[in-house]
Amino acid sequence: MREMMIDENKKKKEMNEKILTDLCECCLTLGFDFSFEFLSICVPCLLKAALKKEENEETQMEVEMALFALSSIGYCKVPKEMYLSELKEIIQYHQEHLNLTQLAYQSAWQFLIRRILCDRNLEDVIVNELHFGREAARELKELTRNVDWKRGKEEEKEKETKEVIMTRRWIDIVDNFLTWCALWKEGFVMLICSVVQVFRAAKVNNEEISSRCIYLFRSAAFNWNMKVEDLLKGGAVDAVLEEMKQSTLDDEVTFKCLEFFDFISMRLKGKEEEKMEEEKRKSMKKKVFEKLEEEGYEDAIASFHETFQLLNKECYDDFPLDISDYFLNI
């Protein structure tokens, strides 16, 4: 299939546009090939399909499938000349006219955010032109209101709601954004707030999503462009403390919680930012540790701080299997 498409393109033979679009969607969704030669055929083809603006259900589904296929492209390099102008038009048109489905809109963002890894110049477009923080926060708040979080666990396993799936996808892409983006704005506190809302809504009946929120907070704390003050304002510190109280806390989540506080602790030692005023740094440190002290965790965090220096933080297997039991019983 791949060879046929490339061969036809080289020979400049005409191929039915709908058939070519279907082939591109199939190949990308199944992860057949992400080579430059192949992407140079598929990306323009799918963006052309995604640019359709007719307001009918059939067109909406065609656009959704095209953008969903594009979101399947991994973290490989795609020249921005191949997609950026069209993708900006798609996102900005939706922001004005709300013509995309939830999945289509999220897929457009997922494709774009994944490109940051190979092209840091995209950050200004994503943050300042397309307003990712505002848009992601709005989408998450809307999903949190619409998800039936009280559905039974067995029922949820049998049939996940569309809203639950979309919430998971948004949490993952926001996690990627907070991991890689070096351009931080104070307004992103609302993005952290929206994830905290998802965490609190999901923590009783959807452990997977609540755990993903904890991983996201850990990613934010590890991003040295993210201010500790914003994690406090957004409620991330409180959310991680709430998670640590859970009687069913597993070892991997414990590890992420401890890393979260370890990263914050290191940054508040005075070397986080040269621009941070000493008094402000001390005030921030006091606020964080007062929260820990209120919950009785300050000694526990301190006792693990030196351990972190000896272990390979990238290797979760270095932690003993009973670490969460030990932590919860301190």
Co-location of 45 and 91 in the same domain = yes
Q: How far apart are CA 323 and CA 126, in angstroms?
A: 40
Q: What are the angstrom distances between the C-alpha of 279 and each of 70, 72, 80, 282? A: 48, 47, 44, 5
Q: Is residue 324 part of a domain?
A: yes
Residues 166 and 280 in one domain: yes
Whether residue 142 is found in the same domain as residue 88? no
Q: In this structure, what CATH number is given to the domain that contains residue 179?
A: 1.25.10
* Amino acid 264: pLDDT: 84
327 and 191 in a common domain: yes
Q: Give the pLDDT of residue 314.
A: 47
State which amino acid sits at residue 71.
S
Give a yes or no: residue 155 inside a domain: no
Same domain membership, residue 17 and residue 140? no
pLDDT of 139 reads 96
φ and ψ at residue 231, rounded to 5 degrees: -65, -35
Query: Alpha helix (H) ranges present in 77-131?
Result: 84-97, 102-114, 122-124
**Per-residue pLDDT at 81:** 95
317 and 290 within one domain? yes
Which range among 15-24, 155-164, 192-201, 211-220 shows the weakest confidence by mean pLDDT? 155-164
Is the domain of 108 the same as that of 212?
no
How far, in Å, CA of 272 to CA of 323, rounded? 29
Does residue 111 lie in a domain region? yes
Domain ranges, residue 284 = 131-148+160-330
* pLDDT beyond 50 at 132: yes
- pLDDT over 70 at 55, yes or no: yes
Are residue 187 and residue 114 in the same domain, yes or no? no
Domain count, the chain: 2
Asked whether residue 264 is domain-assigned, the answer is: yes
> Is 167 in contact with 147 (CB distance < 8 Å)?
yes
Asked if residue 110 and residue 209 are part of one domain, the reply reads no
Mean pLDDT, residues 222-243: 88
Where does the pLDDT of residue 126 fall: very low under 50, low under 70, confident under 90, or very high at 90 and above? Answer: very high
Q: Does residue 46 form part of some domain?
A: yes
Q: Is residue 54 part of a domain?
A: yes
Kindly state whether residues 309 and 182 are assigned to the same domain.
yes
Average pLDDT score over the chain: 81
Give domain status of residue 220, yes or no: yes
Q: What's the half-sphere exposure (Cβ side, CA atoms, 13 Å) at 38?
A: 18
pLDDT tens for 1-42 read 555 555 555 444 455 788 889 989 998 998 877 888 889 999
Alpha carbons 20 and 46: distance in angstroms, whole number = 9
Decide if pLDDT at 268 tops 60: yes
Residue 153 lies in a domain: no
Indicate whether 317 and 195 sit together in one domain: yes
**Left (φ > 0), alpha (ψ -120 to 50) or beta: where does 319 sit?**
beta
Q: What is the pTM of this model?
A: 0.81
Please determine, for residue 219, whether its predicted confidence score (pLDDT) is greater than 90: yes
Do residue 91 and residue 141 come from a single domain? no
